[in-house]
Amino acid sequence: MGKATSAFEQKYGPWALVTGASDGIGRAFAEELARRGVHVVLVARRRLQLEQLATTLTQTYGVQCQVLVANLSDAQGVQQVLDNSTGRDVGLVVCAAGFGTSGPFLQNDLATELDMLQVNCGALAALSWGLGQRLVQRGRGGLVLLSSVVAFQGVPRSAHYAATKAYVQTLSEGLREEWRELGVQVLAVAPGPVRSGFAARSQMSMARAEDPQVVARASLDALGRTGTVRPGLLAKLLGYSLALAPRWGRVRIMGRVMAGMARRT
């Protein structure tokens, strides 16, 4: 194990907890953490995918894995994660579970919208609070929250999803300052489109999408160095090109972008 890996494991190990670990960005984070020598608590709804991933990570990298099957759309699932992870010295938490919706807000199913609000915001807040207590008690560690390029302005045809990510971005920025002197690093990850199951569930078409591994690797490299990272070329391009536009202008531009991606109008 090289020096960089040893330093990362010493600072954020020996265990990390990753939600949404069965697919996409969450799975990529779990794989990258294992590659860096950190044991991983894998959290998602699908047991089979988690068990297969755990076997792969153990055989490939020699790390330990704990599988926690939980539905974060209800409070019981969140509590299961908190209760069943107490036996691990978790030094890094990655909240990657989440999903999105697209299309006109009034045409979407309200129950689905409220489930999204719970997973993207409610569960994330509860886990940040509960696991954050343990990180602060340790006196060191890290919290990674999945924001998005849509978090920085309203986005027509994805209005509610963008609002949930604005919540995540704002929470991350505040916690970073609160926890800085307590030894815990907080990072908001604001990627653009990423190749995962997200597009299918949100009914969006993503012609250009980043590899989840790029997102995970760039994010872990940025942890402790900055408050927000935009991993991948497309995320940087969108972020920097919109930075000087007034907020109302960003809303209109992102609305056009979303119109090209949403399958339902």
- Catalytic positions, please? 161
d(CA 51, CA 141): 26
Instruction: Give 163's DSSP letter.
Output: H
Does residue 204 come out as left (phi exceeding 0), alpha (psi in the -120 to 50 range) or beta?
beta
d(CA 164, CA 59): 37
d(CA 29, CA 212): 8
How far is C-alpha 239 from the geometric centre of its chain's CA atoms?
A: 18
Q: How many CA atoms lie within 13 A of 223 on its CB side?
A: 28
Omega before 14 cis (within 30°)? yes
